[in-house]
Structure 1
Amino acid sequence: MTDWTDRMLELLVGPVAHGGHFVARAAEDGTPGVDGDGRVVFVRHALPGERVRAVVTEDPGGAFCRADTVAVLDPSPDRVEPPCPWAGPGGCGGCDFQHASAPAQRDLKTAVLREQLERLAGPAAELSTVPLHEVVVEELPGGPLGWRTRARLAVDDAGVPGLRAHRSHDVCEIADCSLVPAGALEPVLEQRFAPRTELEVTVGADGAARVGAGATVRAAGRTWELSPGTFWQVHPALADTLAGVVGDWADAPAGGVGWDLYGGVGLLGSVLAGQVGPDGRVLVVESSRSAVRDGRAALADLPQVSFVPGRAEREIARLSPSPDVVVSDPPRAGLGAATVRALADRAPRRVVHVACDPAALGRDLALFAGVGYRVRALRGFDAFPMTHHMEAAVLLERLG
């Protein structure tokens, strides 16, 4: 097969796909495929229904290739001017949807979430007491710009900081980032750093960006002092939103036992602690030493909370006592079969599961259905505006 790299294609853009691109087809002569014929092209910077010209950026030699839109011949009514000049083809790879209106972005994410659940959740959809295909990705407060409180910058060979290009280690020089509060990043971008390193930048409550610094954050009615590198949600509204979801769904009994797996500094565990009360127990399992240290300091007034340093998937079988309710917020890959089975063996009545990848969520829901759990509630959140990323939360209940 001829390598299509750098080839110009004319495409009729189809549906959004998981990963921030859209599905199109191209014939061998570079014109749009007809009636599903032609090679699959995953094209960025486009929208469904558009006719575009796109340049192939990557051709792995199989059934598909990747391309970037360079001209829009027939624009979608949802298309807008991107607020960031570095977000287009060949530029920064951090944003996928800056060319779409904010409502359209949420519609695109809703379509992806529904499609992934339909394709991967399998028996979970049949057992669910709520229709999974009706889930909607909800807007969070604060608007689509200036929401990011933390950013990771890459430093190029000359010591200039910037953001990486899409699917590349190349560093794009930028003067600002529209996702970070306006002007906060500029003083950092004007500095020079050790070549080929990465920088953790935190925007404090005063609006100033600092490299390698900790942060003071508030959520669920409490304050956490975070060490440099300790994880916290980057959207300022997400921590309280997830705490509210756990408060509404967990229903941990007074005097009961709650587990907070992959619990970080214990944000969601603090909500469980309020439900079980002083006579109950909450075990927060977390592998990051700095998160455990910061969490213990923040929750020192809650003697019912204990931190268990370690990886949740290894600790589940030996935690004691067994839980009435579990909150899980795993990394992007999700829980996986072994962890879901181990969790089901401990027989919690309810599981509040948080996911940041819709495909992993679909797979995990199918696994939970296989070990006797059904979906009772499901919500999606646009916690990463301008990107394809989203957050979701699911309430699972044990059958029988």
Structure 2
Amino acid sequence: MDQGNTAFLLIMAALVLLMTPGLAFFYGGLVKAKSVISMMMMSFGAIGLIGVLWVLYGYAIAFPGSEGLVPPWSIDWSAIGLTSLLEVPEGAAFPPLAFVAFQATFAIITVALISGAIADRAKFGAWMVFAAIWATIVYFPVASWVFNFGLADDGSFAYGGWTTYGMQEAFGVGVIDFAGGTAVHINAGAAALALALVLGKRVGFSKGAHVPHNPPFVLLGAGLLWFGWFGFNSGSELAADGTAALAWVNTLAAPAAALLAWLLVEKIKDGKPTSVGAASGAVAGLVAITPACASLTPGWAIVLGIIAGAVCALAIDLKFKFGFDDSLDVVGIHLVGGLIGTLYLGFFANNTGLIYSGNLTQLMVQAIAAFTVLIYSFVLAFVIGFIVDKTMGFRVTNEDEVAGIDTVVHGEDAYKLETV
């Protein structure tokens, strides 16, 4: 067993877990002061809920192993509760449980991302029920499609989901999604759009009606997200090597470029660059580079960041044009950014992109995977959300929403002003 790679993977897992508290601060700063506890609790609720489900059966669904093409919905019954993974196989690079830990943090952050679309108006209990069902029938299977693959000694696929092994067999190239453009960001963004439609608009929804109550929280959260994202992307190599280093550099370059691009769009549109815009631009760049971080030169990573920052800065206004209330722009940043990063590889991926190969095969398989995950997640999230809403109620009353739901739902206030 390589103790260096084991330590690397465990440290990367801890960095990715930190992303969810970072997301809580990022989202918490964006909502109104009387909803910040509710917003942050949806992220921390995801840590508790998905952490338990992953150990009980989530890993068994997401990584069923197998040989050849793994069925889209399968389960390794021996991995239920993880007892079969306690032993370290001879010659293994790291203990199986180190990989289990790393992938658990991906499941947690993916679920937490969705909550931003329903800020200021969702019941905590209903959110937890939705999160449990969606993780079980959407995230865990989709993670298997994308992340569950094994390689033979010669580097060819020994088994895998349909996006990797299946596409490789059918078209000669598999989908490139190094750290989760499809499984994490498109998946969460599509579910966020569905829930925004199920819950409806906030009271008084209009452009400029809801402003962030605490921009320093937003910047703190974005900083924690960016810090954790180095584990997210570099750790997906599962080894401390040159590919991990390339992923690290690209995880610096693309978000930095996206931050600048977002601020430039803000300056042109609104006359002033904002701190929230800087934070949002960085996150948009992080989303876009996620699938592509190990398959682009740093120069092309900067170009991707510029495109993602500018397009996402414009995309967040789509909710006003189309009339859906995605409270914290999960759709405009994660769905749009995930699509940009995933499809960009069809043109600029090292060796297989259009500019290197001269053909559009890589773009075709990227598009098939991206839009299949989008449709699958959206439809099931809408159905789950609709059932939860009709049975137990997903949304607080208008009166509680206007007053602020922290006290009603959690019996707490984020800020106590003492008077003498």
TM bracket, shorter-chain basis: under 0.3
User: Normalising to structure 2: TM-score of the pair?
Assistant: 0.25
Q: Which has the larger radius of gyration?
A: 1
Task: Looking at secondary structure, tell me which structure has more strand per residue.
Answer: 1
Structure with higher RCO (Cα < 8 A, 6+ apart): 2
User: Normalising to structure 1: TM-score of the pair?
Assistant: 0.26
